[in-house]
Amino acid sequence: MASLIYYELVKTFRKLRTYIGFLVILVLVPLIYWGFSLGGDNWVDNMTRGLQNDFLFVGSLFNGWLVSNMIMRSLFVHIPFLIVLVAGDVFAGEATGGTFRMLMTRPPSRLKLFTAKVISTMIYVVVFIAFMGIVTVSLGLIWFGGGDLFSFSPEGISIISADDVWWRFVVGYGLAAWAMCTIAALGYMLSTIVENAIGPIIGAMAVVIVSLIISNVPIDAFEAIKPYLFTTYMDSWMDAFTQPVDWKHALEQSGILALYFMGFTATAWIIFSRKDILS
């Protein structure tokens, strides 16, 4: 199994499309930080203008932690596309290349091959999210320095002390990685259905976009649908930046995502196990 996972990782990281997400992060994050450097203080002043009548802010709230947090909030709307770009090719790519017949002539069972592909996809997701976290946080602190974190959440506004911030980003990116694993599971589930990687990529993104719209648009007609959409629970990472951390809510959200992950994966296995790839 270890050898299978290794070879699946080699195949994944030999493909150019695997590095599109990493390249996007390396280009987009510095570009956003450059924009913040030109007017970040004014942006924070405008954001807190309504609070300045009731609170006295000493020093600057604009720092690397704040910018890194804002990057998390903005980019995670677009990160699913970079995830399914790889996950949607896991099975469909083999079918397109006609390599499944060759793989099935080897001793490893279909279940072992499926498991290796799932595990290697999850490893890619974790590596990619960790890379994003390291780039955004380290570059933010180098560019803008550290300090207390001024954080917005649905429950209100929190000011988190500088020595209490770093571990929240670790937890936040960990929860975000789990949410992206659910997206990846949707991608490789659709990848087992067709023989062209474009279909699963477009299909998964269509599902994510429609679900995100329904989950976030405040329309009464959508309220009954929201609890059944996995995108409703993808913001569990934001609980890491509440004061105090809402561990119960974060675990509940992650648990529901786990059910979707297992459902997508089980469906993918049923389709793959019955797929005619030998004739």
**11 band by pLDDT with thresholds 50, 70 and 90:** confident
Burial of 219: CB neighbours in 10 Å, binned 0-12, 13-18, 19+: exposed
Q: Is residue 279 part of a domain?
A: no
In a domain, 230, yes or no: yes
Stronger pLDDT, 151 or 263, i.e. the higher one: 263
Is residue 152 classed as helix, strand or coil in its secondary structure?
strand
Mean pLDDT of 136-163: 80
Residue 57 domain boundaries: 2-274
Higher-scoring residue by pLDDT: 270, 198:
270
Asked, for residue 33, whether it belongs to a domain, the answer is: yes
Query: Cα separation of 52 and 161, whole Å?
Result: 19
pLDDT tier at 221 (50, 70, 90 boundaries)? confident
Q: What is the pLDDT of residues 107-148, one digit of tens each?
A: 667 788 888 889 999 999 999 999 999 999 999 899 888 888
How confident is residue 74, by pLDDT bands cut at 50, 70 and 90? confident
Helix locations, 76-109, DSSP H: 79-87, 92-97, 100-103
Q: Which of 35-49, 181-195, 234-248, 252-266 has the highest mean pLDDT?
A: 252-266
Give residue 94's identity as a one-letter amino acid code: E
Q: pTM for the complete prediction?
A: 0.86
Greatest mean pLDDT among 47-51, 101-105, 143-147 lies in 143-147
Residue type, 212: L
Query: Quick one: what percent of the chain has pLDDT higher than 70?
Result: 82
pLDDT for residue 177: 93
Q: What is the pLDDT of residues 82-98, one digit of tens each?
A: 898 888 888 876 666 55
Least confident segment among 64-68, 150-154, 178-182: 150-154
Q: Please identify which residue in the block is written with the tokens 């397109």.
A: 96
Q: What is the pLDDT of residue 133?
A: 92
Instruction: With residue 10 as reference, give the H or E element that holds it.
Output: helix 2-14
Q: How far apart are CA 224 and CA 124, in angstroms?
A: 34
Domain count across the chain: 1
Beta-carbon contacts of 27 under 8 Å, excluding residues fewer than 6 positions away, are none
Q: Are 143 and 228 contacting, i.e. CB atoms less than 8 angstroms apart?
A: no
Does 208 have pLDDT greater than 70? yes
Residue 83, number of CB atoms within 10 A of its CB: 27
Let me know if residue 136 belongs to a domain: yes
Instruction: Determine the pLDDT at residue 68.
Output: 87
Nearest to 136 by CA among 74, 180, 82, 183: 74
- pLDDT the model gives residue 9: 84
Q: Which of 32-36, 48-52, 155-159 has the lowest mean pLDDT?
A: 48-52
In this prediction, residue 40 carries a pLDDT of: 58
Element housing 156 (H / E): strand 156-160
Residue 105 belongs to some domain of the structure: yes
